[in-house]
Structure 1
Amino acid sequence: MNKKLLVLLLAGALINPLAAYAEDEATSTEPAATQEASTSDNLAKLKEKYGFTDEQIKAMQDSKISESQYNMVGALAKESGKSVDEILKMRTEQKMGWGKIAKELGVDPKVLGQSVSSMHRQDDTEMKKERKEAREARKEERKQKREEKKEARKEERAQKKDKKVQ
């Protein structure tokens, strides 16, 4: 019986790293899916914050500016009263920098920095919350595994005791 138990334990020790590797492989595809989800989350936040329409989002995407610059467009449009299209034309057709656009529209350039930093602060807060939740989930999972191991050891002891009695 001891040989069978030893073989089972060794088999479990060999399979466990393979299972961990398979789990790592399965989770390695998550960043792409997470990135897509965060992009749509960011667009939803921008729509809410600046009142962007789908057409305005599409215009910004077509203008080839980066998503991080959507905040600047929104802040400039909100502060100056100009349309998103007018600001995009200044940036793409007239090749003006963000500071020059702000100055020409009569907007204090610090508004640009504040618009970007406010989104970063919001993202940081959400990331901290997600990390905390993930940490709690891992903690609970480890606790559950310890309990399962404890139960397995109890069962093994009971089986050994039964064998001695027989």
Structure 2
Amino acid sequence: MSKKALLLLLVCALASPLMAQAEDEIATAETQISEEATKPDYVSRLKEKYNLTDEQIQAMKDSKISESQFAVVGAMAKESGKTVEEILKMRTEDKMGWGKIAKELGLHPKMIGQSVSSMQRQDDVEAKKERKEAREARKEERKQKREDKKQARKEARSQKKNKDI
């Protein structure tokens, strides 16, 4: 076997795992993009947890309260039986604090913090799960790279042995 043919064969053997790795990285990126597109965001989770409509979410956005306060409004509306609009009116037009609104609705003020923290805990759990999945994926990727390198070395040794014979 000529040196050029051997060199070409060696280059192909070494390039093959790199091509496979590139294809894997592309597939991983496509998977992440599709998962991000389907992952429920904060507002979607609020809507689900507190049975809020798009109009109620828009009313909260229009009232210029922060997204973390959306959870407070949703929780108060759900617990008191009042509408989101009534609670927003108390907050924005009547200039009442959250504690005063809670007391007027017959709710314990601690539910204000609980509503926000429950959404935060859910974010933390999801973030922890994502980090774990990313670690597992990196671990698997490193394992695959080691296997690919091992296979390439094995093929190179086999080719060298065939050349010597």
TM-score interval (norm. to shorter)? 0.7 to 0.9
Aligned equivalent of 2:45? 45
Distance in 2 (alpha carbons) for counterparts of 1:67 and 1:76: 15
Provide the secondary structure at the position in 2 that maps to 1:95: coil
- What letter is aligned with 1:120? Q
- What letter is aligned with 1:98? W
Post-superposition offset of 1:96: 2.1
- Structure 1 residues without counterparts, runs of 5 or longer: 17-22
TM-score by length of 1: 0.73
Task: Summarize the alignment of residues 6-155 of structure 1 with structure 2, pairs less than 5 Å apart.
Answer: 40-155=40-155
Post-superposition offset of 1:129: 1.5
- What letter is aligned with 2:101? I
TM-score by length of 2: 0.74
Aligned equivalent of 2:156? 156
Structure number with greater CO (CA < 8 Å, separation at least 6) is 2
Q: CA RMSD in A?
A: 3.0
Query: After the TM superposition, which parts of structure 1 deviate over 6 Å for at least 4 consecutive aligned residues?
Result: none
Provide the secondary structure at the position in 2 that maps to 1:108: coil
Post-superposition offset of 1:48: 1.7
Distance in 1 (alpha carbons) for counterparts of 2:92 and 2:148: 61
Distance in 1 (alpha carbons) for counterparts of 2:83 and 2:76: 9
- What letter is aligned with 2:123? D
Equivalenced residues, count: 144
Post-superposition offset of 1:112: 0.8
Distance in 2 (alpha carbons) for counterparts of 1:92 and 1:150: 66
- Structure 2 residues without counterparts, runs of 5 or longer: 19-24
Provide the secondary structure at the position in 2 that maps to 1:82: coil
Provide the secondary structure at the position in 1 that maps to 2:46: helix
Distance in 2 (alpha carbons) for counterparts of 1:104 and 1:37: 39
Provide the secondary structure at the position in 2 that maps to 1:65: coil
Aligned equivalent of 1:19? none
Distance in 2 (alpha carbons) for counterparts of 1:144 and 1:157: 20
User: Aligned in 2, Cα 1:37/1:71: closer, same or farther, shift over 3 Å?
Assistant: farther
Distance in 2 (alpha carbons) for counterparts of 1:103 and 1:144: 60
